[in-house]
């Protein structure tokens, strides 16, 4: 029986992920390792190493929804949380993964993403930002700039319902 395991090598260039797989090939009862590297093109968002502990707290539907939100965010990591976004994900999950989700399940998934700090919410209920500390769609320079803007907003405005401080590790 052949077995398969793999790991991700973080990309040097945005938009390209190289995945190195170690395949065990059964030859005469002995499993011999064989290495295969395959490159994949992404839509440009990148996870940073400090995201693993957050993703470990999520279940399958929450992780799938988070990846979908990352694909849908704009170049400044902003998203609008609405029923349209949730229904778009439900249709996507049904078509591509053959999974059926209810709107209420996705609402709870969104709340969990806010709770663990992967999404920064604002006082305006629908305006949110995917936390650039963990995920960003763009260059390192632009990422640092967006984080600075978010920190400056924290001190200029009084966000009473925001998870700013917790999400950015300032609390």
Domain spans, the chain: 3-41, 47-167
Fold of the CATH domain 47-167: Arc Repressor Mutant, subunit A (1.10.10)
Whether residue 100 is predicted with pLDDT greater than 70 in this model: the reply is: yes
SS3 label, residue 138: coil
Cβ–Cβ < 8 Å for 168, 133: yes
Q: Using alpha carbons, select from 38, 33, 29 the residue that is nearest to residue 3.
A: 33
Could you give the angle at the alpha carbon of 20 between the alpha carbons of 15 and 21, nearest 5°?
135
Strands 45-47 and 135-137, by their bridges, are antiparallel
Percent of the chain with pLDDT over 90: 33
The region of weakest confidence among 90-99, 111-120, 156-165 is: 156-165
Whether residue 153 is predicted with pLDDT greater than 80 in this model: the reply is: no
Give strand pairing partners of 38. 19
Dihedral Cα 153, 157, 158, 163, nearest 10 deg? -20
Confidence tier at 121 by pLDDT (50, 70, 90): confident
Torsion over CA: 110, 115, 117, 121 (sign): positive
- Supply the pLDDT for residue 10: 38
Q: Which residues have C-beta within 8 Å of that of residue 94, sequence separation ≥ 6?
A: 100, 101
107 vs 59, 62, 104, CA distance in Å?
A: 14, 10, 5
């Amino acid at each position: 029986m052949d077995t398969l395991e793999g790991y991700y090598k973080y990309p040097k260039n945005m938009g390209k992920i190289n995945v190195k797989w170690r395949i065990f090939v059964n030859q005469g009862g002995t499993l011999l390792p064989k290495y295969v590297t395959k490159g994949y093109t992404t839509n440009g968002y990148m996870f940073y190493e400090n995201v693993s502990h957050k993703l470990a707290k999520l279940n399958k539907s929450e992780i799938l929804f988070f990846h979908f939100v990352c694909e849908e965010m704009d170049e400044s990591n902003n998203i609008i949380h609405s029923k349209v976004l949730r229904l778009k994900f439900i249709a996507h999950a049904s078509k591509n993964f053959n999974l059926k989700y209810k709107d209420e399940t996705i609402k709870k998934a969104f709340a969990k993403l806010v709770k663990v700090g992967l999404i920064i919410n604002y006082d305006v209920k629908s305006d949110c930002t995917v936390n650039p500390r963990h995920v960003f769609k763009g260059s390192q320079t632009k990422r640092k700039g967006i984080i600075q803007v978010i920190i400056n907003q924290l001190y200029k405005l009084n966000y009473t319902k925001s998870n700013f401080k917790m999400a950015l590790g300032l609390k």
